[in-house]
A and B are shown apart, each in its own frame.
Chain A
Amino acid sequence: MQEQSLQSRQLYHMTIFTQCFSPCGKYIAAANNYGQIAIFSLVSALSPEANESSRLPIYCFKGCKEGAIYCLTSTDTFLISAGEGDICAWKWSDIHNKAPKIIWSLSLPKKGVFTNPEVNSMVVDKQEQATRLLAGGGDNDIHIWNMENGQLENSLQGHEDYVHSICLKNNGRECVSASEDGTVRIWDARSSSEAVHILEPHKTPMCGRPEMGKWVGCVAMDHGDDWLICGGGPKLSTWHLRSLTPTATFDTPGSCQNFVMYHEENVISGGMKPCVNHWYVNGDLKSQVPTTSSSIYNIAVNTVLDQLRVLSVVGNSCKIDVCTNFGYKAFSLKFVPS
């Protein structure tokens, strides 16, 4: 009885922070605050005979010994997870065989006794010369590793508080980071000098919302590398990078956005309201799709396979909302650890 109640409470308090599509596009991997990674089969979930059980994970394993997993990213062979512990890499083939083991792992350089910084965001930069992994997190820095030899190539320092999100710019030469200290910094990925540009949305009257705080939780670059969109405590806003000024804001009253992405010609964002916001680039709200979770941490679109083109949303519940038509939620996958 106690077991059962504890399990149901844990399920109720589950937060799925991140998700990732497999290289083949048929599976979704999702990771939660208990450090568990679940693999769902999109094919079976979308098939006409799908029922309750096809919306449960086909496989579930512990990706982090203790603590949450905050970000997942994938290469052609590896699924890389990071959060409270080390950055770990798992082979997709092992995962499909239900026998995953850590192939390699990286850890953030230690700085002091009390710190065990978490990794909040990771990006893989695939170049011809080398594949690099960029990660930013609790130690206020962004670290860059060479994935082939595991060497720490560079650390970008400058943020005064922990890094929420990073993304790449200019074909991997530059990287953009959003942090709790209220700044968005643009860095030259190959040098270790200070940030090239620093944006402070909270200081602008257009975007700043003092009652929400100054922290910037999400940042994204558009395809042309001209526009940057970021949000958090301050309103979600697009910035013109040449002038480094905000141009449009996306109004989400009372809600800080945790995640934002450019998709085709539109902006998709999610935050502290139980809905996914679809915007036009000029700031007008296109649609709001209600979701199960009351706060959203990640939205992903499956671009690998066209027939499995879905939009999936994760947040602070055990359900992953899947939309086939981006206008409404089709069904939810349930992250129930077996």
Chain B
Amino acid sequence: MASITKDGDKDRKKKRIIKTESSSPDVKKSRVEPSKDGAALFYAEETEVDTRDPQKDLDLFEGASSVIKNAVTDIQAMRVSGKMNNAVLDEKRIQATLQFVTLKKMNRLSHFRCRKVREATNEAKQRIDQYHLQLQNLLYEAMHLQKEINKCLEFKSKDEEIELVPVEQFYKEAPEDISKPKITENDDHQLTLSRLDWELEQRQRLSKKLKEVSCSKDEILKEIDTKQEYLDSLQPKLNSILEATKPVQSYLNMPYDETREQHQTALHLPHPLYVLYMQSSAYKDACDKYLKVTIEGDIHSAKTLDMSVQEIEEDSDSDNEEQEKKTRRRKTTEDRRSDKKQRVLRKHPLTVAMEISCKEGSKLLLTFSYLLQLEIITVQVKVIPSCLDAVHNSISGGDLLLPDSILNELYPGDHGNNTPNPANQYELQRMGLHEFSDYVSQVGRPYQWTQWLGGLQFLGDGNPVTVRSSFSSAYMQQTIKQLRKRLKARLALLHQLATLERNSIPVSSCLIDMFPVKVLSRLVSWKRSTYEDFCSLDYTKNITEGDMVSETDIFFTAVMERGSAKLTCQVVVGADYPTVPPLFVVSISWQVQRNATNDVHIKELEEEVNVHYTELIKPKTRDNLLSNQLQRLLMCFDVYLETESHDLSGPVEIPKDKVFTRVARGPDRKKPYKYIPDLGIFTHR
């Protein structure tokens, strides 16, 4: 029984479960029905529901209920009324209670109906829900698709962003297999595809190129980098090389470093000295390797001077004085005046030093200074001859190399005694100073050519000084040449003088054949003389009056002898020897005193030596002109003596030794002073 009941329980549980699934909460009642038959019966009412008309049931219900109600009311009425009729009452009650059965059935039916209806509703609802869900799904999908379609429609493919080559160009450029004109002409899509193809190909090509190029660019950049590093590393190397070349430079005499420093220093030079420095450096570099130009002096004071110059220019003299009073102890008026005087003659601290050397080693050192107040350039000279013997040997020429006079008259009339700047006169006067020539030893000589080299040109009276470098360059070559010539000439002169003092005439070797081998007269003395001595001679009056000699010339006296005849000759050597040949004034004493004023032949002799000297000038022998002329004089003295003897009856002191074509010629009975080297005879000019 138990197992059956269990089965029945299970069935019931099953049923319960089933029921609760589809029916009302009226669970307790169901427990009572246990069997199969009961199951069929159980479900009979359910099926009954389907057959019964609900309206009828409703009427049943109402009927039952109304019976009940009537019963009740009747009862009630009876109870109230008091008339209690128990039979009627019981009947009524039984009827009422019977009605309850109907009610209960109806209730059950209604429940069943409700349940069925609910189930149907639920089913329908579910069906509807399902459809609704489906609809929603479909709608959603539709929407989704719509969205997708929209998206698709909106989709701008990247190919539209590509700027394609215009169609014509595309057809022109693209190769046949890509452009496929026949297909693409008609079909836009194909056209676009082809174009895209072509674009792609081109871009691929270009990107390849780009890669290559950027590769190469990278390579090049790398190269540049390495080279840059190399260059950077060079700088210290170069510096070290420069350092190393310094000794080589000095050995080879190419001092580039020094010149650069010099140029730096040059910036502090006063303008005229700067011009001089630059022009002479330029000349030196271009033409002249025997010239050296350097800047010397105190560069610091030059720098301070540069700065203070601007202040000084603004202050007036009196301001300066006041300042001095305040800053220092009060100076006496004399001190102040001597200060002012000093200032007038003050030089700029930097000087330009020029060294002109000759091939055989002698040097001329010129130091150019600039006088700030007076605005002129002065020069101090020093001579360094290559061999000092000649200098010291010559007594008569002792002063020829003196710094004061060696550059006298480098240009005609230029003695360097006075300042070339006319304004200086007033300055010096104002300061109570003497003539400039007194201070020459202190400050140097202001030659005209030194002003020219510095580009200074002093025009007229009171005109402002102009500094022109064109001026300097115009005179530079000439002046340097003159300076060198002067040095050589002076040294040559000294040599000659030294030899002459030993009574031998140093004739130039190339001119030896211009004179006969046998010259019987000889030089016996050579001495220095003076301008006053020269002028004191009576036969020199014509010459001094004719302005043929000047005080600055150098005078000598030479004596030549032959037998009892003595020739005394005054030799006047100009400062500019040998540009201006020496002048000879002759007097012969032989039985009687004769000279140019009383003997025509002596004047002829002078003419022979003084005027016809160009034959004695060969290219390299110009400096030796003095000796050559002296030899000619000696030779002519011989001729004079040999042709002068008129009295052939008595003994002739000086016999005729030389060959003459004719002894006399012309109204003045000229003597045959001219020697013809080829034939060895004397003839007239």
Which of chain B's residues 577-601 have a Cβ closer than 8 Å to chain A?
579-581, 583, 596-600
User: A5 near B665 (CB under 8 angstroms)?
Assistant: no
**A1-B576, A210-B647 in contact; A12/B598 too (CB < 8 A)?**
no
Most chain B CB within a 10 A radius of its CB, from A118, A121, A210, A213: A213
User: Would you call A15 an interface residue if the criterion is a C-beta within 8 Å of the partner chain's C-beta atoms?
Assistant: yes
**A13-B606, A272-B598 in contact; A258/B667 too (CB < 8 A)?**
yes
User: Would you call A214 an interface residue if the criterion is a C-beta within 8 Å of the partner chain's C-beta atoms?
Assistant: yes
Least Cβ–Cβ distance between B608 and chain A, in angstroms = 9
Q: Could you say which of A4, A6, A13, A215 contacts B669, with CB atoms under 8 Å apart?
A: A215
User: A214 near B665 (CB under 8 angstroms)?
Assistant: no
User: Would you call B360 an interface residue if the criterion is a C-beta within 8 Å of the partner chain's C-beta atoms?
Assistant: no
- Chain A interface secondary structure, helix, strand, loop or mixed? loop
Which of chain B's residues 530-579 have a Cβ closer than 8 Å to chain A?
542-543, 546-548, 574, 576, 579
Please give, as numbers and ranges, the residues of chain B lying within 8 Å of A307 by CB-CB distance. Answer: none
* Residue interface mask A137-165, B partner, CB < 8 A = 1: 01000000000000000000000011011
Q: Which residue of B lies closest to A83 (CB)?
A: B666
User: Would you call B135 an interface residue if the criterion is a C-beta within 8 Å of the partner chain's C-beta atoms?
Assistant: no
* Residue interface mask A1-42, B partner, CB < 8 A = 1: 110111011111101010000000000000000000000000
CA distance A215 to B662 in the complex (A): 14
CA distance A273 to B600 in the complex (A): 10
User: Would you call A180 an interface residue if the criterion is a C-beta within 8 Å of the partner chain's C-beta atoms?
Assistant: yes
User: A217 near B667 (CB under 8 angstroms)?
Assistant: yes
User: B547 near A8 (CB under 8 angstroms)?
Assistant: yes
User: B548 near A5 (CB under 8 angstroms)?
Assistant: yes
Q: Could you say which of B412, B607, B647, B667 contacts A70, with CB atoms under 8 Å apart?
A: B667
User: A297 near B583 (CB under 8 angstroms)?
Assistant: no
Please give, as numbers and ranges, the residues of chain B lying within 8 Å of A11 by CB-CB distance. Answer: 546
User: A70 near B666 (CB under 8 angstroms)?
Assistant: yes
- Chain B interface secondary structure, helix, strand, loop or mixed? loop
Please give, as numbers and ranges, the residues of chain B lying within 8 Å of A10 by CB-CB distance. Answer: 611
Q: Could you say which of B599, B610, B664, B667 contacts A17, with CB atoms under 8 Å apart?
A: B667
**A5-B548, A272-B598 in contact; A297/B667 too (CB < 8 A)?**
yes
User: B412 near A316 (CB under 8 angstroms)?
Assistant: no
Q: Could you say which of B546, B576, B600 contacts A295, with CB atoms under 8 Å apart?
A: B600
Least Cβ–Cβ distance between A206 and chain B, in angstroms = 17
Please give, as numbers and ranges, the residues of chain A lying within 8 Å of B664 by CB-CB distance. Answer: 161-162, 180, 215
User: Would you call B646 an interface residue if the criterion is a C-beta within 8 Å of the partner chain's C-beta atoms?
Assistant: yes
* Residue interface mask B223-266, A partner, CB < 8 A = 1: 00000000000000000000000000000000000000000000
Please give, as numbers and ranges, the residues of chain B lying within 8 Å of A210 by CB-CB distance. Answer: 646-647, 649
User: Would you call A244 an interface residue if the criterion is a C-beta within 8 Å of the partner chain's C-beta atoms?
Assistant: no
User: A8 near B548 (CB under 8 angstroms)?
Assistant: yes
User: Would you call A103 an interface residue if the criterion is a C-beta within 8 Å of the partner chain's C-beta atoms?
Assistant: no
User: Would you call B19 an interface residue if the criterion is a C-beta within 8 Å of the partner chain's C-beta atoms?
Assistant: no
Q: Could you say which of B412, B576, B611 contacts A13, with CB atoms under 8 Å apart?
A: B611
User: B647 near A211 (CB under 8 angstroms)?
Assistant: yes
Least Cβ–Cβ distance between B517 and chain A, in angstroms = 22
User: B662 near A162 (CB under 8 angstroms)?
Assistant: yes
Which of chain A's residues 188-245 have a Cβ closer than 8 Å to chain B?
210-215, 217, 233
Please give, as numbers and ranges, the residues of chain A lying within 8 Å of B647 by CB-CB distance. Answer: 210-211, 213
Which of chain A's residues 265-324 have a Cβ closer than 8 Å to chain B?
272-274, 294-295, 297, 316
Please give, as numbers and ranges, the residues of chain A lying within 8 Å of B649 by CB-CB distance. Answer: 210
**A12-B546, A12-B548, A114-B661 in contact; A295/B668 too (CB < 8 A)?**
yes
Can you offer 25 A-B residue contacts whose CB atoms are under 8 A?
A1-B576, A1-B579, A1-B580, A5-B548, A9-B610, A9-B611, A12-B546, A13-B603, A13-B607, A13-B611, A15-B668, A67-B685, A114-B661, A120-B667, A162-B665, A211-B646, A213-B646, A213-B647, A217-B669, A272-B598, A272-B599, A272-B600, A294-B596, A295-B668, A316-B600
Leading 4 A-B pairs by shortest Cβ distance = A213-B646, A13-B607, A1-B412, A210-B647
